[in-house]
Chains A and B, each alone.
Chain A
Amino acid sequence: MTEKVLEEITVGLSDAEKDDLEEMIKAFRKKQSAAPETLASEDEQRQILSIGENLAHYGDILLKFDTKLKLLYGILRLSDQKNRIMNQRIDAVIELLKGQKVLTEK
Chain B
Amino acid sequence: MRIQIKLKIMTVVAIVFTLFQPGWAQAANLKDVRTGKHEKFTRVVFEFQDNVLFESPEIKGKGNFSVIFLDSSTTLPRLTLFKTGPIQLVHSIELNRQKSNLIANVRLSFPYFILKAFPLSGPDRIVIDAYQVFSPPEKSEQKEFLREKPLAETSTTPEEKELKNAPQKVLEKKDVNPAITPSGAEKSSMKDTQPPEKVFSNNVSNPMPETHIESPSSANGSAMTQIYLLAVLNVTTSVIVVLMIFMLLKKRHAIDFAQLFEIMEFIKTSDESIETIDAQLKSAFKEYDES
A residues contacting B by CB (< 8 A) are 64, 67-68, 71-72, 74-75, 78-79, 81-82, 85-86, 88-89, 92-93, 95-96, 99, 103-106
Q: Are A89 and B277 in contact (CB under 8 A)?
A: no
Minimum distance in angstroms from A77 CB to a CB of chain B: 9
Considering the complex, give the chain B residue whose CB is closest to the CB of A71: B288
Q: Are A68 and B281 in contact (CB under 8 A)?
A: no
B273 interface residue, CB < 8 Å from A? yes
**Complex CA distance for A16 and B273, rounded to whole angstroms:** 34
Q: Are A85 and B259 in contact (CB under 8 A)?
A: no
B232 interface residue, CB < 8 Å from A? no
CB-defined contacts of B285 to chain A, threshold 8 Å:
75
- How many A-B pairs fall under 8 Å by CB? 51
**Complex CA distance for A99 and B261, rounded to whole angstroms:** 13
Q: Main secondary structure on chain B at its contact with chain A? A: helix
B138 interface residue, CB < 8 Å from A? no
CB-defined contacts of A88 to chain B, threshold 8 Å:
266, 270
Further 20 A-B residue pairs, CB within 8 A, beyond A78-B277, A89-B270: A64-B291, A71-B284, A71-B288, A71-B291, A74-B284, A78-B280, A78-B284, A79-B281, A82-B281, A85-B274, A86-B270, A86-B274, A88-B270, A89-B267, A92-B263, A96-B260, A99-B256, A104-B1, A106-B1, A106-B2
Q: Are B256 and A78 in contact (CB under 8 A)?
A: no
Among residues 250 to 291 in chain B, which have CB atoms less than 8 Å away from a CB atom of chain A? 256, 259-260, 263, 266-267, 270, 273-274, 277-278, 280-281, 284-285, 287-288, 291
Known: A81-B277, A104-B1. A68 touches B263 (CB 8 A): no
7 residue pairs from A and B, CB less than 8 Å apart: A68-B291, A71-B288, A71-B291, A72-B288, A85-B277, A93-B267, A95-B263
Q: Are A67 and B291 in contact (CB under 8 A)?
A: yes
CB-defined contacts of B266 to chain A, threshold 8 Å:
88-89, 92
Considering the complex, give the chain A residue whose CB is closest to the CB of B287: A71
